[in-house]
Amino acid sequence: MVPMGKQGRTWCLVWAISMAILVASGLVEAHKKPNVNMNVMDSCWRTNPNWRRNRHQLATCSVGYAGKMSNNGGRGTVDYVVTDPCDDPLNPKPGSLRFGVTSIKGKVWITFHKDMTIKLAKPLLVGSFTTLDGRGANVHIAGGAGLLLQEVNNVIIHGIHIHDCIAQGAGPVMGPDRKIVQLGPVDGDAIRLVSSSKIWIDHNTLQDCQDGLIDVTRGSTDITISNNWFRIRFGYAHVVNNLYLGWGIYAIGGSMEPSIKSQANLFIAPQGGNKQIFWGHSAIGGFRSVQDVFENGASFSASLAKDVAMRPNYRADQNFEVADGRAVKLLTRSAGALKCSSRC
């Protein structure tokens, strides 16, 4: 898991996994008996055989800087089902993904009726209190634009394949509340966050986009990215229970003076080549390893900053139990978009 504190930027490079169980009033209570074969966050909802009927339970399972996302579900939430993979950036058709994101006021929980591939003609502007829930369908957003979260809050993106995104020219697009927004050129990110907060990006499969995979920029804060691959550019990141396996040049990349606390991760170095896990020693603000596990000669040169050891200073609703680094292989085996039928 990679909770992002103050503004930061990421590119996904390694599977990340988050650990937590949180229960909120007004939503279905999570099963309290953890499954030892899952990380605790997944145990919060995947152990429930009726997860399809209790989809909003997912919102109680996030941790890290995003905290609980319980305001995304429950009373007053509109459940919208995508039935049509078409996309019209200015006049979205009912049943399409863009219609659900732009035309429904208030809280919306979006699911998908069937397997589909959606080619976005322009970036999809996701509004506040929106959940994209791909569980139970094989959903690909591919071959076009990606997702843009601009000055929004309380967003969950879960269980989506996003790949082969391409750069887009400037032009108008319908945004939340059916407002037409004039967008400048975009670089081809899978998911881009601009000045947004309280965002949970979980169990997605992201690859092959022209610019980056997850781009967190310009004052975005309170972000939890779990079960995704990432690189940290700047800001503060708490990197927890990740599996880094057979990297090329480096396992963790940093530039522009990020502060990174690496805790209980498993690093398995490649047979040949560089066994150092970190890149960017001359440009880091602070780097601290705690309870990490190193195999096959993996090595870690830590550069300490005074506040890295003390952070992340989570609130009670953000805190979570860190698993033993030796359990990471088991805990990360379900990373990425899940294949869900009666069970996930």
Q: What confidence tens digit (pLDDT) does each residue in 123-144 have?
A: 999 999 999 999 999 999 999 9
- DSSP lists the bridge partners of residue 173 as 181
Residue-wise pLDDT tens digits, 154-171: 999 999 999 999 999 999
pLDDT tens digits, one per residue of 322-338 = 889 999 888 888 788 88
Specify the range with the lowest mean pLDDT, choosing from 138-142, 153-157, 253-257, 310-314: 253-257
* Average pLDDT of span 65-90: 96
Angle at 222 between CA 249 and CA 78, to 5 degrees: 115
Q: For residue 7, what pLDDT band results from cuts at 50, 70 and 90?
A: very low
Amino acid at site 216: V
Residue type, 206: L
- Across the range 189-218, mean pLDDT stands at 88
Residue 87 or residue 277, greater confidence = 87
Q: What is the pLDDT of residue 51?
A: 93
Which pair of structure tokens corresponds to residue 46?
């995947």
Q: Is the pLDDT of residue 1 over 70?
A: no
pLDDT band, residue 342 (cuts 50/70/90): confident
Specify the higher pLDDT residue, 1 or 17.
1
Supply the pLDDT for residue 232. 56
Task: Please tell me the least confidently modeled range out of 178-182, 280-284, 339-343.
Answer: 280-284
Domain definitions of the chain by residue range: 2-331
Predicted confidence (pLDDT) per residue in 143-153, tens digit: 999 999 999 99
What pLDDT does residue 279 have? 63
Q: 2-331 belongs to which CATH class?
A: mainly beta
Q: HEC profile for the chain?
A: CEEECCCCCECCCCECCCCCCCCCCCCCCCCCCCCCCCCHHHHHHHCCCCCCCCHHHHHHCCCHHHCCCHHHCCCCCEEEEECECCCCCCCCCCCEHHHHHHHCCCCEEEEECCCEEECCCCCEECCCCEEEECCCCCEEEECCCCEEEECCEEEEEECCEEECCCCECCEEEECHHHCEEEECCECCCCEEEECCEEEEEECCEEECCCCCCEEEECCCEEEEEECCCCCECCCEEEEECCEEECCCCCCEECCCCCEEEEECCEEECCCCCCCECEECHHHCCEEEEECCEEECCCECCCECCCCCCCCCCCCCCCCCCCCCHHHHHHHCCCCCCCCCCCCC
pTM of the model: 0.75
Q: Of 239 and 39, which is predicted with more confidence?
A: 239
Bigger pLDDT: 250 vs 139: 139
| pLDDT confidence tier of residue 39, bands split at 50, 70 and 90 | confident
For CA atoms 314, 127, 226, 40, give the dihedral sign. positive
Closest to 4 (Cα-Cα) out of 198, 189, 148: 198
253-279: average pLDDT? 80
